[in-house]
Amino acid sequence: MSLLALRAVTRTVIPQDQPALTILNGVDLQIEPGDHVSIVGRSGSGKSTLLNMLGLLDLPTSGEILFDDRPVRSYSSAQRDRLRGAAIGFVFQQFNLLPGRTALENVTMPLLYASGRTFWRRKRIAADMLALVGLEHRLNSMPDRLSGGEQQRVAIARSLVRGPRLILADEPTGALDLDTGQSVMELIDEVAVQTGAAQVIITHDPTIARRARRHFRLDRGVLTPVDDPSLEPLTRRDRREMAPAPEEAASTGTDELAVLGLGTATATATLPDPADSGPTDDARLDAPEGED
C-alpha cells in the first residue's frame, strides 16, 4: 500500500479575462513509506502547486490523489485538515515562528491537535524535540532573541514534533550556506529514519537533491524521473533566488552558523505515538498539564 499517490493530476487556473492556464499536466507520482524523493525545477515550473497537492492543501482539477489508497476527494475539508496535521510535516525556507511565543510554545503548538497521552505530555515532547536540534537551553527564549540559525532549528522542530509520516521540504536550505544546509538536511534525515517517514524535497539545489534515492524534474508542469538531479545549468534568475536575502545573511553570522551543530545532536526526542493522533479543536496552549 502506497502512502501517497498522484495519478494523472492536472491543475488549471483561469485568470480574470485570460485563457485557462495549466500549471500541472498529467503528474504521476507514488510515494512509499520511508521513501526519499527529490523534485528539481526552475522558477515557474509548478513546484509550489505540486507541493500544495502533496500536502493536501488543494485538490486537482482532474486526476486523483490517494492517501493510504483512499481518494482524497472522499475526505471532507475538515478531515483533510486533520489528516494533514497528524500525518504531514512541512519544512520551509522561511521560519514563520509566532512572535509572541517562546521556542517551547512554538514547538508545542502542533501538539494541541493531538489527543490522549500525546496531548497531555505535549510540553515534554516539545522540549525533547528542541533538545534533539540542540536548543534545550533556549526553551523559554522568544524568536526575536534567537539567532537566524536558532530560529531555523525551532521551525524544523515544530514541523517534525508530531512524528509525521510524510515530510515535505520546500527549499529548506535556500537561506543557508552549503555546510549549514547539509547539516539541516542531515537532521531531517535523522528524524525521518527514526519515525519511518517518507521525504519529498523540492529544491533548486542539485547538491541537496542528490541526497534522495529517487529524483524527478518538474518542467512546465510535467514531472519526469531523472537519473542525475544536476539536470541543466541554473539560470541567473535561479541563482538570484537561491541566494539569501541581505537581511537574512546579516541575521545569521559566521559564528552562529559555526555553532549550529544540527547533525551532531545527541539528545533523543520522545516522539508522539501515532495512535494518539487526532484533533481537539477546543485545545488551548494554556490547557492544564497532566502528570508525566
Q: Cα separation of 6 and 30, whole Å?
A: 6
> Is 0.85 surpassed by the pTM of this model?
no
Q: Cα separation of 57 and 59, whole Å?
A: 7
φ/ψ of residue 229, rounded to 5: -70, -5
Of 215, 222, 177, nearest to 199 by C-alpha is 215
Beta strands, E only, 43-151: 62-67, 70-71, 88-92
Of 132, 272, 127, nearest to 191 by C-alpha is 132
Provide Rg for the chain, Cα atoms: 19
Q: What is the pLDDT of residues 216-238, one digit of tens each?
A: 999 999 999 998 766 444 444 54
Helix (H), strand (E) at residue 6: strand 4-13
Using DSSP bridges, classify how beta strands 214-219 and 21-31 pair: parallel, antiparallel or unpaired: unpaired
The CATH number, out of the four listed (3.40.50.360, 3.30.300.30, 3.40.50.300, 3.40.920.10), of the domain defined by the range 33-56+85-276: 3.40.50.300
- The three cell numbers of residue 69 are 489508497
Q: Residue 230: left (phi > 0), alpha (psi -120 to 50), or beta?
A: alpha
Distance (Å) of CA 62 to CA 3, 31, 77, 115: 20, 19, 18, 35
- Walk along the chain (292 residues) and give the pLDDT tens digit of each residue: 789 999 999 999 888 888 888 999 999 999 999 999 999 988 888 888 999 999 999 999 999 999 999 999 999 999 999 899 889 999 887 788 999 999 999 999 989 888 888 889 999 999 998 998 889 999 999 999 988 778 888 988 898 888 899 999 988 777 666 776 777 788 888 878 877 899 999 988 888 888 899 999 999 999 999 987 664 444 445 445 545 454 444 443 333 323 223 333 334 444 555 445 444 444 444 444 444 4
